[in-house]
Every structure is written in C-alpha cells, then in structure tokens.
Amino acid sequence: MSPAGRLTPDLRRWIIAQAEAGHPPEVMLKSMTDAGWTEAAALDALESTLRLKAAEIDSRQKPSPGSRSGA
Amino acid sequence: MAEHPWSGLACFPLLVPDFISEVERTQALGFLAAHEADFGATDRTDYWAGRTLTLPQVRDPATQTLLRDLQRRIIRTVHGVLEERLGPQPPLYADVINFARWPPGYELLPHADAENPGGEPHPYPWRHFASVIYLNDDYGDGAIHFPELGIELRPPVRTLLVFPGTLDYLHGVRPVTHGMRHTLASFLTFDPAHEST
C-alpha cells in the first residue's frame, strides 16, 4: 500500500480492485488504518476514488444527447 | 521540484456536482450563443485562437458579474477543502477565468498546468489549481483524462472539477467528435502577484 495519507495511482487501483472484488468499505478502511492511515484520511481516499470511478462509469454508460456515435 | 502538500490529497480531482445552478448555466450558454463572434476565428496553427474568452473580453456586464461570483465560489470551495484536510491555509487568489470552446477535432494532449516533466520551466508555475465547469453535453467524446491516475470521465453539466497544477495531475482532453464542447476554465494561486484584476 502507498505511503499513509497520499492517494497514489497504485492505491486508487487497489481500492477499485478491492471494490470490484466485492470487499466492503469497512474491510478496506481497516486495511488502510492498519497501514498507518488516519480514519478520516482513509475515508476521504475511499470516498474520492469510488466517487470518481462511479462518475467514470456513468460517463461511459450515458450517451451524449445528439450523439451519433456515443461518447 | 517543489513538493506541495495538496498534491496527492485524496480529494483531488475534486468533483462538485451542481456547482452552478441551471439558471446560471442557461445564462452562460445564452451569452455564448449571442457572442459567438467575439471568440474570433479558429486557426489550426494557433491552438487557442478563436477558442477562449477571458473575463476582460466578456462584453456583457451580467456575465462579468456571474464569472466574478463563480471565481469567489470556486476559491471558497477549494480553500474550504484544503483547510478541512490541512489546517489553516493562506488566501487563494483567482488568476484567469475564461470560457473555452472546443470544436470538433480539437483535443488536448496530457500536460500539467504548473509543472513540466524533468523540471523544465513552465510558463505558469503559479497556477496551483485548475478548475473546469462543464456547461453543455451535446457533443461527442471530449472526455477529460488523467493518465497518471487512470481516470477518464465526462462530468455532468453544472459540475465543477478541480485539480492541482502538479505533474501528479497530468490531464488531457479526448478529441471532440461532433458538436461544440463549452467549459469555463479558471486557475487559482496562492501568489497575490498573479491575482487577476
């Protein structure tokens, strides 16, 4: 895991992989706090990463109005 | 290269849905429709020619007021996010704010807004944060992507996106395939010498 408190690309990937594998947020939170993250910073990292991933998925699924080829 | 405490903060890139109201979006789009000619002609040999309108170039007082208000709200949002995570922060100042339009075929290759790879001098090293407000979605592709972060998205209209100017946040824009992509871009700095007037 990346240095505590710094949300690196590797950590983003780890969070997404854990979420895709079905691990609940509290399990990821425990792993991060065990690695030295404060709970607040770990929650921030989880929330930010998963929110951006959701926005990314939403971007791909939502065709743009007037789009002929999709976005 | 300077290590900035905000670079790598978990909250960035920061997405703020519904940052502007539908009334404000309609006002901005109405201004753009009425003042399209003010952008001037695009020029394939000059990347930004005909594609931006900065605050001083906006000839409509109501839209000027809107942009100044948005600058204040963006600063308040970013400053609040920083203080929540890092404690008391010095004041932030608004550098440029501008409308940007992206006709079909335009794209932006990955870059950072304040740093260059290898420590090469950057023309705007004071731009500590960049922000984008998404004004429309009736265009094809034009997604913003952060190759270092593995993120690619098209934020919904009225969303504010903020990210630091450091190399951690290399970003680009995928080619627009059709339609006109409209955004409001602005930059924030801790350096009062670069506050826009």
Q: What are phi and psi of B161, to 5 degrees?
A: -120, 130
Domain extent, residue B96, equals 17-34+47-125+153-183
Residue B4 buriedness (CB in 10 A; 0-12 / 13-18 / 19+): middle
Residue A1 domain-assigned (yes or no):
no
Mean pLDDT of the region A29-44: 92
The total number of structural domains that make up chain B: 1
Residue B194 domain-assigned (yes or no):
no
Å between B126 CA and nearest CA of chain A: 23
* pLDDT of the residue at B8: 77
Residue B196 has pLDDT above 90, yes or no: no
Mean pLDDT of all residues belonging to chain B: 94
Domain extent, residue A25, equals 9-58
Residue B28 domain-assigned (yes or no):
yes
Mean pLDDT of the region A45-67: 78
Mean pLDDT of the region A48-58: 90
The total number of structural domains that make up chain A: 1
Residue A1 has pLDDT above 70, yes or no: no
Residue A2 domain-assigned (yes or no):
no
| Structural tokens at position A71 | 């976005």
Inter-chain residue contact A55 with B153, CB threshold 8 Å: yes
Interval B14-53: pLDDT, tens: 999 999 999 999 999 999 999 999 999 998 888 899 999 9
Provide, as residue numbers in chain A, all residues whose Cβ is less than 8 Å from the Cβ of B139: 64, 66
Å between B5 CA and nearest CA of chain A: 10
- Asked whether the beta carbons of B41 and B50 are under 8 A apart, the reply is yes
Residue B139 domain-assigned (yes or no):
no
Inter-chain residue contact A64 with B12, CB threshold 8 Å: no
Closest CA to B148 of B110, B114, B177: B110
Residue A26 domain-assigned (yes or no):
yes
